[in-house]
Structures are given as structure tokens and as C-alpha cells.
């Protein structure tokens, strides 16, 4: 179990400071984000895959804000752009998240956002302040504690370093 005090969470996230956000997407209801330089590593399924120096997996509530507006958030996985509930929400491609993520990644392809600042709270949440006025807020939103599983994790893919997991 990880100590959830703000100092420990801040120390875990500090390597992201100054790094570019290279790519992001989802696997069903899990947000993944790659930071730093992209490189190839062996894949567990054979072959290789492209990964960032650091990867953030988020399985709790989150939102990406810019200038006092929510640009994209975790509930966007479940709805289309008209606001209709998607029965096949876990199939990538038609959700509001998928459409917005594709547009943002296209816009940031040549000028990725950089992590400028981070703040943490006392319950394992944090905010990453990015260039161009963007802010990623990650906030655990379940009172079940460890029975829930994990809220988020940060790790260096392709290394033997321990993952930082927020249970």
C-alpha cells in the first residue's frame, strides 16, 4: 500500500515536471497518458510497442480543463457528441472522448503540451498544470478504499522500477 500523504504523491509525480505530453487515449474506462520521449520496447504480446518515458494510468474521475472550461472528462467515454448514452461505450471510436482526444492529439502533434506545475491533495488526487492554459485534474471519487482497486498509477515502461500505485 502506498502512503497517500501529499508529500509522497508529489514526489512520485515530480518526474513529470518539464516533460511533454506525447500521446493519450483509453482502454475501456482507463485513461492512459505518455510523457517524455517516445521509444520502442518489447511488447508482452510479441513485437515492440511505442511508449513514453513515463506512463500515467487513471481509473478514477478526471477532467482536462482550459480557461475555466472542461474540455474533456472521464464521463465522456460513455456518451456520443449528441449527448446520447452509448451502449457500446467500451468500443473505441464513437464516444465524445474519442472524438475530442483525436482532435487534441492532432493539434498537439508538433507542439506537445509541457507539464509546468503540479499540486496534490490529501486523498491521492492531483492536478497537472500544462502549457497553453490546460490543467489535468485527477480525483479519487470512491469511498471504498482498497476494495475499489486502484485510482491511478505512474510507471516507467520497460524498466524494473516499481510502479507508484494510488490504491
pTM of the model: 0.92
| Contacts of 10 by beta carbon, 8 Å cutoff, 6+ apart | 118, 120, 126
Across the beta sheet with 115-120, the strand order is 69-73, 61-66, 134-139, 126-130, 115-120
User: Which pLDDT tens digit goes with each residue over 104-123?
Assistant: 999 999 999 999 999 999 99
Residue 131 has pLDDT above 60, yes or no: yes
Q: Which residues of 99-138 are buried (b: 16+ CB within 10 A; e: fewer)?
A: ebbeebeeebeeeebbbeebebeeebbbbbbbeeebbbbb
User: Which pLDDT tens digit goes with each residue over 49-84?
Assistant: 999 999 999 999 999 999 999 999 999 999 998 999
Given pLDDT bands bounded at 50, 70 and 90, which one contains residue 1? Answer: very low
Residue 3 has pLDDT above 80, yes or no: no
- Say if residues 19 and 156 touch (Cβ distance below 8 Å): no
Average pLDDT over residues 113-140: 96
- Say if residues 11 and 127 touch (Cβ distance below 8 Å): no
Amino acid at each position: 500500500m502506498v502512503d497517500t500523504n501529499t508529500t509522497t504523491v508529489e514526489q512520485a509525480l515530480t518526474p513529470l515536471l518539464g516533460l511533454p505530453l506525447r500521446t493519450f487515449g483509453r482502454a475501456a474506462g482507463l485513461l492512459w497518458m505518455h510523457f517524455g520521449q517516445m521509444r520502442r520496447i518489447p511488447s508482452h504480446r510479441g513485437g515492440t510497442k511505442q511508449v513514453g518515458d513515463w506512463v500515467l494510468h487513471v481509473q478514477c474521475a478526471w477532467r482536462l480543463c482550459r480557461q475555466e472550461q472542461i474540455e474533456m472528462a472521464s464521463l465522456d467515454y460513455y456518451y456520443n457528441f449528441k449527448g446520447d448514452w452509448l451502449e457500446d461505450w467500451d468500443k473505441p471510436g464513437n464516444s465524445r472522448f474519442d472524438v475530442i482526444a483525436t482532435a487534441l492529439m492532432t493539434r498537439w502533434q508538433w507542439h506537445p503540451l509541457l507539464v509546468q506545475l503540479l499540486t496534490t491533495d490529501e486523498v491521492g488526487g492531483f492536478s497537472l498544470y500544462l502549457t497553453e492554459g490546460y490543467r489535468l485534474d485527477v480525483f479519487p471519487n470512491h469511498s471504498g478504499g482498497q476494495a475499489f482497486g486502484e485510482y491511478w498509477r505512474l510507471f516507467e515502461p520497460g524498466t524494473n522500477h516499481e510502479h507508484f500505485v494510488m490504491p
